[in-house]
């Protein structure tokens, strides 16, 4: 491991003596902590709790007793199991410029780039003199910037790093676009977001809610914002699940300026919650040049939410889909979630009906057993037969089985193409009755066939030429 130290100065004897004393004091505190740990913790569980606490304590916002901003802030993760991330410590000084030290295997190649990113963020927060220490585990520039910015905010510093979009943004997402699969990604784990697009999900969900520890909500918010600026998800719809309201409204202030395609609103029980989010988004966009439509996908996770499903689905014109969170829903009912889904059948059908009545998509919950591929396929096939147009997934290996489950079978497509062709021929002749062979085709059957053909086209199963 190389250490790239960009500023080197000789230390005075007084500084050296102070550093040695400080190290002795730190060593004493550590040894005392070890003794307490051995005396008061049971084997296994205590060690895990201590390991988690080591980073959590360092990440807390430090404030003086008088409420002034602290002089030191930390953010990120460190350890042998960390990748595509870093740990940063920032200490503001009165003078001396920027003293940056980077421990990184790629420091010799990317040291200048790392320094440039750090200095850019420090400048945005008005910091001219600081001691910065970075333990890098392969973090990309958008991660470096997010971690440094979080450390500064935890010191009580106010500001925002400049928006440096490094990807080409496409136009706004269609309300009725294909949403067979949406892949959940923990918002504070950059290693999952970087290559998510290569698995070809219809959408990726950068999650700020359940997958993020309460002490890391602030860090995840900045990291997700930077990911929206810098990560190419290869055509997948860019979704963000915000926190439960009212905290989720604060998430929007950071996320909306980066034009996400969809905002998922968790634990919705009333239509007013959807309208609050929609109003907040519109107020944020008033000061922006780019005002693409940000679609909303409320997540219903309780019995009360199911009872209000139609009101929620029709709360605003920006609702594109309605979905359900079965873990919370079954917990609310006081029953166990099963692989057959019998305990949630009523709620899911109620949601499908409400979504259809409101003219939006119905999206099913996730299937929690990543290793049970056959169970996943069976769940997906049942979900499609119930009227759902897609479902969530928690691992890339679930994407292909989900796409297969929600794809119409070849014989379904052939039959639908024949019905659509018969309808078009009858319409061209001015006939009000459509027949296929010896059978009369009712209008609802034609409509269903048209929808199936459209789905097959969007899924890439047939071409426009074949459908004519």
pLDDT at position 68 is: 54
Residue 18 lies in a domain: no
Where helices occur in 317-409 by DSSP H, the ranges are 326-333, 345-358, 373-386, 399-405
Note the pLDDT of residue 281: 97
Q: Is residue 256 part of a domain?
A: yes
Of 405, 431, 450, the one marking the end of a domain is: 405
If asked whether residues 418 and 315 sit together in one domain, one would say no
Answer yes or no: do 256 and 278 share one domain: yes
* Count of residues in the chain: 468
**What is residue 466's predicted lDDT score, i.e. its pLDDT?**
59
Predicted confidence at residue 280, as pLDDT, reads 97
Q: What is the pLDDT along the chain (468 residues), one digit of tens a residue?
A: 444 444 433 333 344 444 444 444 444 444 444 444 433 443 444 444 334 444 443 444 444 334 455 679 999 999 889 999 999 999 999 999 999 999 998 888 888 999 999 999 999 999 999 999 999 999 999 999 999 999 999 999 988 887 677 777 777 899 999 999 999 999 999 999 999 999 999 999 999 999 999 999 999 999 999 999 999 999 999 999 999 999 999 999 999 999 999 999 999 999 999 999 999 999 999 978 777 899 999 999 999 999 999 999 999 999 999 999 999 999 999 999 999 999 999 999 999 999 999 999 999 999 999 999 999 999 999 999 999 999 999 999 999 999 999 998 888 899 999 898 888 888 887 777 787 877 888 888 888 889 899 888 888 888 766 555
In terms of residue numbers, what domain contains 442?
411-458
Q: Domain check: are 304 and 355 in the same one?
A: yes
Q: Are residues 130 and 145 in the same domain?
A: yes
The sign one gets for the Cα dihedral 194, 199, 204, 205 is negative
Both tokens assigned to 249: 């409204």
Are residues 291 and 357 located together in one domain of the fold? yes
Q: Residue 230 is part of a domain; what is its CATH number?
A: 3.20.20.60
pLDDT given at position 455: 87
Residue pair 143/223 in contact by the 8 Å Cβ criterion: yes
Q: Is residue 50 part of a domain?
A: no
Instruction: For residues 91 and 239, state if they share a domain.
Output: no
Same structural domain for residues 202 and 287?
A: yes
Residue 320 has which token pair? 């594109």
In a domain, 299, yes or no: yes
Are residues 135 and 259 part of one domain?
A: no
Question: Residue 224: its pLDDT value, please?
Answer: 97
- Position 67 scores a pLDDT of 47
Question: Contact, 294 vs 256, CB < 8 A?
Answer: yes
7 part of a folded domain: yes
Q: How many domains in the chain?
A: 3
Q: Check whether residue 154 and residue 297 sit in a common domain.
A: no
Alpha carbons within 13 A on the beta-carbon side of 371 = 0
Work out the burial of residue 118: count CB atoms within 10 Å of its CB; fewer than 13 is exposed, 13-18 middle, 19 or more buried: buried
155 plus 245 within the same structural domain = no
Q: Is the dihedral of CA 222, 223, 229, 235 positive or negative?
A: negative
Q: Is 29 exposed, middle or buried (0-12, 13-18, 19+ CB in 10 A)?
A: exposed
DSSP 3-state of 158: coil
Q: Is 2 part of any domain? A: yes
Say if 285 falls within a structural domain.
Answer: yes
Q: List Cβ neighbours of 54 (8 Å cut-off, separation of 6 or more).
A: none
Is 433 in the same domain as 368? no
Q: Are residues 272 and 370 in the same domain?
A: yes
pLDDT of residue 15: 43
Q: Is 138 left (phi over 0), alpha (psi -120 to 50) or beta?
A: left
* Residue 53 maps to a domain: no
For the chain, helix (H) and strand (E) counts, in that order, are 16, 15
């Amino acid at each position: 491991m190389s250490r790239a130290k960009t500023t080197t100065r000789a230390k005075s004897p007084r500084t050296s003596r102070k550093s040695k004393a400080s190290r002795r004091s730190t060593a004493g505190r550590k040894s005392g902590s070890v003794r307490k740990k051995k005396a008061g913790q049971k084997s296994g569980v205590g060690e895990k709790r201590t390991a988690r606490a080591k980073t959590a304590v360092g990440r807390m916002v430090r404030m003086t007793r008088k409420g002034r901003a602290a002089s030191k802030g930390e953010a990120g993760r460190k350890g042998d199991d960390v990748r595509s991330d870093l740990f940063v410590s920032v200490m503001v000084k009165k003078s001396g410029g920027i003293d940056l030290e980077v421990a990184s295997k790629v420091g010799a190649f990317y040291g200048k780039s790392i320094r440039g990113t750090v200095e850019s963020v420090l400048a945005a927060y008005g910091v001219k003199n600081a001691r910065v220490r970075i333990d890098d585990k392969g973090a990309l520039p958008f991660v470096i910037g997010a971690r440094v910015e979080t450390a500064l905010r935890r010191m009580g510093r106010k500001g925002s790093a400049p928006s440096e979009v490094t990807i080409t943004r496409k136009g706004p997402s269609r309300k009725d676009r294909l949403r067979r699969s949406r892949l959940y990604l923990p918002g504070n784990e950059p290693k999952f977001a970087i290559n998510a697009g290569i698995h070809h999900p219809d959408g990726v969900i950068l999650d700020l809610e359940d997958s993020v520890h309460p002490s890391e909500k602030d860090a995840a918010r900045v990291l997700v914002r930077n990911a929206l600026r810098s990560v190419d998800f290869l055509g997948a719809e860019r979704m963000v699940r915000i926190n439960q309201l009212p905290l989720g409204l604060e998430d929007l202030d950071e996320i909306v300026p980066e034009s996400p395609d969809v905002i998922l609103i968790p634990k919705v029980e009333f239509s007013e919650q959807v309208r609050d989010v929609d109003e907040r988004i519109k107020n944020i966009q008033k000061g922006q040049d780019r005002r693409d439509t940000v679609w909303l996908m409320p997540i219903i996770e309780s019995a009360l939410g199911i009872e209000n499903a139609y009101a929620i689905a029709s709360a605003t014109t920006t609702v594109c889909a309605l979905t359900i969170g079965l873990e919370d829903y079954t917990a609310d009912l006081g029953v166990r979630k099963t692989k057959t889904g019998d305990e949630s059948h009523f709620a899911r059908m109620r949601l499908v009906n409400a979504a259809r009545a409101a003219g939006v998509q119905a999206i099913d919950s996730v299937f929690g057993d990543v290793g049970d591929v056959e169970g996943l396929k069976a769940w997906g096939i049942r979900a499609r037969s119930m009227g759902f147009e897609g479902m969530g997934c928690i691992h890339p290996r679930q994407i292909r089985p989900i796409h297969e489950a929600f794809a119409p079978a070849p014989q379904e497509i052939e039959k639908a193409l024949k019905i659509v062709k018969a309808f078009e021929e009858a319409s061209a002749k001015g006939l009000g009755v459509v027949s296929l062979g010896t059978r009369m085709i009712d209008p609802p059957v034609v409509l269903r066939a048209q929808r199936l053909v459209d789905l097959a086209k969007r899924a890439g199963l047939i071409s426009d030429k074949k459908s004519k």
